[in-house]
A and B are shown apart, each in its own frame.
Chain A
Amino acid sequence: MSGQAARSGRAWFGSMIGRCARAFGWNYRAVVLVACFQAASLPAVGEETPPDLSDLSLEDLARVEIVQAASRREEEQRKAPSSVTVVTAEQIRRAGFHTLADVLRSVAGFYVTEDRNYSYVGVRGFGRPGDYNTRILVLIDGFRLNDNVYDMAPVGYDFPVDVDLIERVEVVRGPGAAMYGNSAFFAVINVVTKRGRDVGAVTTATAGRFGTWLGRGSYGRRFSSGLEVLGSLTLGASDGEDLFFPEFDQPGLGRAATHGLDDERFHSLHVSASLRGVSLLASHVSREKGIPTASYGTLFGDPRSATWDDRTVAALKYEGQVARAWRGFARVHYGRYSYRGHYAFDDAEGGLELDYSLGEWWGLDAGLQSHALGRHRWTVGGELQDNARQDQGWSYANEPGLRFDSFHDSSRWALYAQDELRVSESLTAHVGVRHDRGPSSGNRTSPRLGLVLAHGPSTLKILYGTAFRAPNEYELHYYEASESLRPETIQTIEAVAERYLGSRWRLCVSLFDNRIDHLISLQDDRGDLGFVNTGLIDSRGIEAALETKLRSGLRAQITYSFQRSTDRETGRPLTNSPRHLLKLGVAAPIVEERLAAGLDVQYLSRRATLAGNTLPGFVLANLTLRAPRVVGNLDASLGAYNLLDTRYSDPGSEEHRQDALPQPRRSLQLRLGWRF
């Protein structure tokens, strides 16, 4: 009798945990579970003691909802003084993303433009044709990847870390100069790499349309000594598409077509190791890309036109507790970027032009964080970068010597301080300032302010931030017409509201106002190209995201962004600036544990081109089917990219005769992976 009562009591308790978890808001869940635990452990031993779960049945235990560490990050993200989107390894896998560009394409307010040579990221309506991603800062595990000649953030296959080795991508919108200095103009993108144990021993092979193949071998593990290692090699190549460019049609010769000129070849190597607070990371990528577009007035259809990009980054970091309530880190990092470009001109125009640049830099940064002062959480730090080489030049293959050269070295330093002040239990104020000094930036002080009100399932953030982007070596020296450039600046005011609707839905709305001054742009003054500080750009917009995680395992996210950017001098809207972006991402299990599908649909509204034309809006859809453990440890996935075979184009830049560049048609890719 009493046994019966005890058993039903246990069952009641087990189901209560589940019910508590279901009944309350997502963010309340952990709290409520604790409350449930506390209520249930009637002989109150102390707050920290959970009830005796060992008395529950196996079935009841398996029914308890586990909120994993991801939600702790979600909680931090919720209270961060920025509008943050995190794309996890799981999301990358589900959607079948190949590159960081694919990841960013899925993020609200971001879009990517391709010119069949590089990939360029647009943020909140700002995607200037010809901008080499200089206005976003990309970090690998917290240190700067942008090089020191172009300040370019690579996001295609020229990004040194294979997307399969990415643990998560943290996209922090808005100016981040108060923390990160130069280039943190529209967004800071931190790519967090996987640990050895998360990767294990894996080999994958991918083959697809346009003669694309890709192979990866990785080995990672954690030893009982605590040492964790990871090594991975990726090789890839693609013949690319055969393309038609009517701009190059010649009467009587038929359509101007390219065959095999859109080819790409790359390899990347990534190693990391960590032991007790000390971590080492090194990544290298080497990529060759053919140029089918005859950019810069080169000969159409000439297979010699191509670019080679080599990038190496390495960092050694220590992070740990330095005293009670004080944590610190110190890091030394190294970077090298080498670019070569071959541009085939008519012999009368000099023949083959060889373009090159080489950047090499060393960096030192250190920071301290303290919560020793009650309601304050302080972060102070400093950074020093020595640009050992910032070389550029070009020559003709058939003559000795350089036609142009520019060899520089420089150094820059910065100090920053941030305070996170807990004004009340729900209100936190963030104040930050950073001072930068460098040859092309001069002295810059970048402040930031943020108020974060977190109350129950709702969060409201009011944010003010500034940033600058110093003219880079390329802008300063490559063209004779550009000499005295000053940094461009941005001021942003943003309001972010976030709310959990029930336990499985999250809604986030953000309003922003950007004011960009002294914008650095390439101008064509009667044939003389040169960079100048121009205009003032105002941009306003709204972003909304609705996310859900359903019990069935279905994950869905829909985001919409609207923006309007105007050049105040000309009064005209910006080029390559879609007003509307609508994105839908769905991942759902089809046959449990056997087959899952990921669907990714994006709509981009019309865009103005440099020549003043309008490119129509389009819908792009990608579908990925994944079958884990088909045979043994073999995972298979099939991806259909541009599923609807949409014909669409991205705007060309100053260097293109084409005003619009056609983008990839539908392709299928099969990927097999074996886990050892």
Chain B
Amino acid sequence: MDHLLPGLVALAGALAAAPVARADDRIEHAVKAALVYKVARFVDWPEGNACPGGVVTVAVLDEDPFGDAITRAVEGRSLGGHPVQVRRLARVRDVPRCSVLWLSGGQGPPLGSLLAQVRGGFIVVVGDGTAFASQGGMVGLRVENERLVIEVNADAASAAGVRISSRLLGVARLVKTVKVGEGTE
């Protein structure tokens, strides 16, 4: 019994310390999730009935650690006048028209084939690999010197029929696609 009290104190300490150990990830996830929403706000979404059900979807692939953070970031918000829904999907080809597709940690098929799948569907592809945008992703969020840098690949966006406002382009760093990657598949 003598050990019980210090044991409990230690346990309480351990429990108190536990969220701290994960704090860094939570912040990174929260900031990236908020940026996913922010980026989507600077996209000219089609008006009226062009979006299925009049809804903009934020699509997250299954088992994505960012999923909850994204739900929290967009819950109850709207994009281009459309309500937003978050959907967890198994495959990229299930992503509906008018979507923001979030790909973290190099998930999903290689970008070349992915972009072919989303072309013309008004799908904004946002991801966080180190070279996400330069490999053909539309918007990349990469950490550099402990800050998040937004990279926009305007060519990839326009190829998919997505128009990004100059306000976002002003904040972001512009990168170009290197086409070679599409040949590797």
Contacts and interface: CB of A to CB of B under 8 A. Distances in A.
B61 A224 contact: yes
A551 B145 contact: yes
B25 interface: yes
Contact of B149 (A33, A47, A62, A551): A62
A632 B35 contact: no
B143 interface: yes
B1 interface: no
Interface string B11-29: 1011011011101111110
A224 B74 contact: no
**10 closest cross-chain pairs (CB), A and B:** A425-B13, A53-B34, A197-B106, A30-B23, A67-B24, A375-B10, A633-B178, A422-B10, A30-B24, A50-B30
Given A31-B23, A53-B73, A633-B180, A424 B171 contact: no
Interface string B55-66: 000000101000
B108 interface: yes
Interface string B139-171: 000010111111000000000000000001001
B145 to A, nearest CB: 5
A36 to B, nearest CB: 10
Interface in A655-676: 674-676
A420 to B, nearest CB: 11
Given A200-B131, A374-B10, A375-B7, 4 more contacts: A53-B73, A54-B38, A62-B35, A62-B147
A633 B92 CA distance: 26
B10 A30 contact: no
A16 interface: no
A553 B145 CA distance: 6
Interface in B94-135: 105-110, 129, 131, 134
Contacts, number: 144
Interface of B: 6-7, 9-11, 13-14, 16-17, 19-21, 23-28, 30-31, 33-35, 37-38, 42, 61, 63, 72-74, 77, 91-92, 105-110, 129, 131, 134, 143, 145-150, 168, 171, 176, 178, 180-181, 183-184
Contacts of A57: 38
A207 interface: no
B30 A53 contact: yes
Interface in A221-243: 221-224, 226
Contacts of A675: 131, 178
A58 B105 CA distance: 22
A58 B150 contact: yes
Nearest to B23: A30
Contacts of A59: 171
Contacts of A424: 6, 9-10, 13
B58 to A, nearest CB: 12
Interface stretch (A69-77, A337-345, A511-519): A69-77
Given A58-B38, A197-B129, A425-B17, A65 B7 contact: no
Q: Which residue of B7, B13, B24 has the most chain A CB atoms within 10 A of its CB atom?
A: B24
B129 to A, nearest CB: 7
Contacts of B17: 425
Nearest to B42: A58
A47 B26 CA distance: 12
B92 to A, nearest CB: 7
A84 to B, nearest CB: 17
17 contacts: A30-B27, A34-B20, A48-B19, A49-B72, A53-B73, A64-B31, A64-B147, A66-B27, A66-B146, A67-B24, A67-B146, A68-B24, A69-B25, A72-B21, A72-B24, A422-B10, A425-B13
A633 B134 contact: yes
A56 interface: yes
A63 interface: yes
Most central of A54, A56, A71 by chain B CB within 10 Å: A54
A423 B27 contact: no
A56 B27 contact: no
Contact of B10 (A63, A69, A200, A425): A425
Contact of A224 (B19, B109, B178): B109
Contact of B23 (A33, A226, A374, A551): A33
A374 B38 CA distance: 43
A201 B184 contact: yes
Contacts of A56: 34
Contacts of B180: 632-633, 674, 676
- By secondary structure, the B interface counts as helix
A374 B4 CA distance: 11
Nearest to B25: A69
A364 interface: no
A37 B34 CA distance: 14
A643 interface: no
Contacts of B25: 69, 72
A53 B31 contact: yes
A34 B25 CA distance: 11
A61 interface: yes
A31 B9 contact: no
Interface string A414-458: 000000001111000000000000000000000000000000000
B10 A423 contact: yes
A128 to B, nearest CB: 42
Nearest to B6: A424
A61 B9 contact: no
Interface string A623-644: 0000001001100000000000
A1 to B, nearest CB: 24
A675 to B, nearest CB: 7
A66 B184 contact: no
A28 to B, nearest CB: 10
Contacts of A53: 30-31, 33-34, 73
Contact of A221 (B7, B73, B106): B106
A441 B59 CA distance: 59
A339 to B, nearest CB: 38
Contacts of B183: 676
Interface in A379-414: none
A71 B143 CA distance: 14
Contacts of A375: 7, 10-11, 14
Given A66-B143, A221-B106, A675-B131, A54 B10 contact: no
A374 B91 CA distance: 41
A261 B145 CA distance: 46
Contacts of B181: 201, 676
Given A54-B37, A54-B74, A676-B181, A224 B107 contact: yes
A374 B7 contact: yes
A57 B131 CA distance: 24
